[in-house]
Structure 1
């Protein structure tokens, strides 16, 4: 796999990882890790357990293989698709969100409005390559949510998506509350948060 601007770096297709137990815990707990919540989020809220999440973290943050997740849309779609890259330098880990298209260029995506996020996640006929599951597409894009949104609408969608990917129904609401809280705090306190490339 070659992504422009990443040269012949160690990027590898990661799309199949979204179906593995512990993936969502490993991926989404990063959003809840800034220490601002009274209650700490735990892997079990997202499905799987700590061992599952740790096993996936070893894959996701491997400096020799940078997983790439593609949330693509057909040509002519009103909102470009997104390619997510785990950027695993030995001394700097992060996630880059890039515009996804035929050229697979490295134009950074700084954020998506609620309407844009839904249009990409719910694309009725996504290309054959990349993540196909609507709930998986939605959760991969969730960290990009910016602008204004209805908390109730977003929370309901997060809960439904988490349950669909294997989170226990009894804890999906709590996990959604944490994720939404962090999104809201970022929007209120750092409206110019920019790209995850800068650590935002």
Structure 2
């Protein structure tokens, strides 16, 4: 697989992994922690068990095959999520893609926490709701994939319910999905890297 502007490693399409047990706990569980060790997040919150989570982590973090999740949109910029499995420099890179653009633009990376420039809730929803051909097509999965980019201190009141529905569609238990959604939003909205003078990378489009 080739991504213009990103040639760091052996990229492979990862969209088929989205339906595998253990994917969402691998991808989102670290974002549910409150930093105090209280009610520590577990794979069950995402409908997974520990064995599935461990097994899939070996696939996701394989240095010989870097999973890529493409989120093109029918209107405007899309996104790409890349597992950067470089020994000694592991992380998840988040790229923006522009219709007709010559290359992808890396805007942020996850390395224990997110470093870079994020997007507003409404921008994440736009990417989730307008899938184009190729890549991930399910709006729920698309929203969860771009969720780590959230950099918005004032999300709409409907955000927890929307996120809860996406989690439930992805396999999270119905009775705890809202609580998991609220924990995710709480963690993401209080990250210290948020800059009040920040401008979205989509603001010029």
Q: Report the TM-score range of the alignment, normalised by the length of the smaller protein.
A: 0.7 to 0.9
What is the match of residue 30 of structure 1? Answer: 30
1:82 aligns with 2:79: yes
Larger deviation: 1-10 or 137-146?
1-10
Describe the shift of the 1:34–1:173 C-alpha distance in structure 2 as closer, same or farther (beyond 3 A): closer
In structure 2, the partner of 1:92 is: 89
- Secondary structure of the corresponding residue to residue 3 of structure 1: coil
Contact 2:73–2:132 (CA<8 Å) still a contact in 1?
Answer: yes
Pairs aligned (count): 187
Farther off after superposition, 157-166 or 3-12: 3-12
Map of 1:1-200 to 2, 5 A cutoff?
1-7=1-7, 9-33=9-33, 35-36=35-36, 38-74=38-74, 77-78=75-76, 80-101=77-98, 105-109=103-107, 110-123=117-130, 126-150=131-155, 152-186=157-191, 189-192=192-195
User: Please, what is the CA RMSD of the aligned residues?
Assistant: 2.1
Q: Counterpart of 2:82 in 1: which secondary structure?
A: strand
Question: Does structure 2 conserve the Cα–Cα contact (< 8 Å) formed by 1:41 and 1:178?
Answer: no
Question: C-alpha separation between the residues in 1 aligned to 2:8 and 2:73?
Answer: 24
Q: Can you list the C-alpha shifts for 1:123-150, whole angstroms capped at 9, x where unaligned?
A: 1xx2220000010000001111112333
Instruction: State the match for 1:197 in structure 2.
Output: none
Where structure 2 has 5 or more consecutive residues not aligned to the other structure, the ranges are 108-116, 199-205
Question: What SS is found at the alignment partner of 2:166?
Answer: helix
Higher normalized strand content (fraction of residues): 2
SS of alignment partner, residue 108 of structure 1: strand
Take 1:128 and 1:4, find their aligned partners in 2: how far apart are those partners? 18
Contact 1:32 1:41 in 2 (8 A): yes
- The Cα of 1:100 is off from its aligned counterpart by 2.3
C-alpha contact 1:98 1:105 (8 A) present in aligned 2: no
Gaps of 5+ in 1: 195-200
Partners in 2 of 1:73 and 1:35 — Cα distance?
A: 35
CA distance in 1 between counterparts of 2:102 and 2:57 reads 25
Whole-Å separation in 1 of the counterparts to 2:143 and 2:149? 10
